[in-house]
Amino acid sequence: MSRWEGDEVTENSAAARHRVVIVDDHEMFRAGVKHEIGPATAIVGEAGDVDEAVRVIGETLPDLVLLDVHLPGGGGTEVIRQVHVRHPEVKFLALSVSDVAEDVIGVIRAGARGYVTKSISGPELIEAIDRVATGDAVFSPRLAGFVLDAFSGSIDVASIDEDLDRLSARERDVLRLIARGYSYREIARELFISVKTVETHVSSVLRKLQLSNRHQLAQWANDRKLV
């Protein structure tokens, strides 16, 4: 990115720069993330464990928390649980090296609005932060794969909550394209829909993932020895 472009981004988004707290127990990783997203966001705090994170988030009330899944003191899910008791409006984007289905699904079901792996590039991370901070959801290809896996197959008819326990054909299409590595914009072009509609589908999947008691979700986790 040239200097001119960098300055442009900073100036244009100055008013909308999201206030971010970084929670990760690896200081070196925090420094790296700060370096990458620093120009595009306002980093208002950082923390290395659950207690510190809850305190810092409570003090700064950021637009978004970048949250490591594995943390001393109970992990990312514990941070979300404690923060959401008092501040349900704080949004979390999970950032993890783990990639284990249990961790990924677990942190989403705890209330995170997105999940990306730590190998994500700087510009992609900034885009993901912007998306989650403005109320949308972010799925990495792997998370999309997990969700497709978890919602696949036939389901116990008696337990069907049609609204929550099944993905619509369109949602499935969107998830498959995410899993194939498509960006929201590319998905919109592919399916002849607007980016806004893609975002709506993804948010809807997120809601189902968080609220569904679908038998298969538990069964699937069980099969993979994740519970």
By CB under 8 A, name the one of 31, 44, 148, 164 that touches another protein.
148
By CB under 8 A, name the one of 25, 99, 127, 173 that touches another protein.
99
By CB under 8 A, name the one of 41, 82, 98, 212 that touches another protein.
98
Number of residues binding to another protein, judged by CB under 8 A: 19
| CA atoms within 13 Å, Cβ hemisphere of 12 | 6
Near another protein in 119-138, by CB under 8 A: 119
Quickly list DSSP for 72-108: TTTHHHHHHHHHHHH-TT-EEEEEES---HHHHHHHH
Q: Please, which residues bridge with residue 179 across strands?
A: none
The token pair at 186 is: 């590319």
Say how far apart CA 127 and CA 208 lie, in whole Å. Answer: 23
CB of 12 to another protein, least distance (A): 25
Would the CA dihedral through 138, 197, 211, 165 be positive or negative? negative
Please say which residue, 101 or 110, places its beta carbon nearer to another protein.
101
The token pair at 159 is: 């337990």
Say how far apart CA 57 and CA 103 lie, in whole Å. Answer: 22
By CB under 8 A, name the one of 26, 81, 109, 142 that touches another protein.
142
68, 46 contact by CB (below 8 A): no
CB under 8 A: which stretch of 57-65, 83-91, 140-148, 155-163 binds another protein?
140-148
93, 216 contact by CB (below 8 A): no
Taking CB under 8 A as the rule, does residue 169 contact another protein? no
Near another protein in 68-97, by CB under 8 A: 97
CB under 8 A: which stretch of 22-30, 85-93, 141-149, 193-201 binds another protein?
141-149
Taking CB under 8 A as the rule, does residue 145 contact another protein? yes
Q: Binding residues for another protein, per CB under 8 A?
A: 97-100, 119, 141-142, 144-145, 148-149, 152, 176, 179-182, 224-225
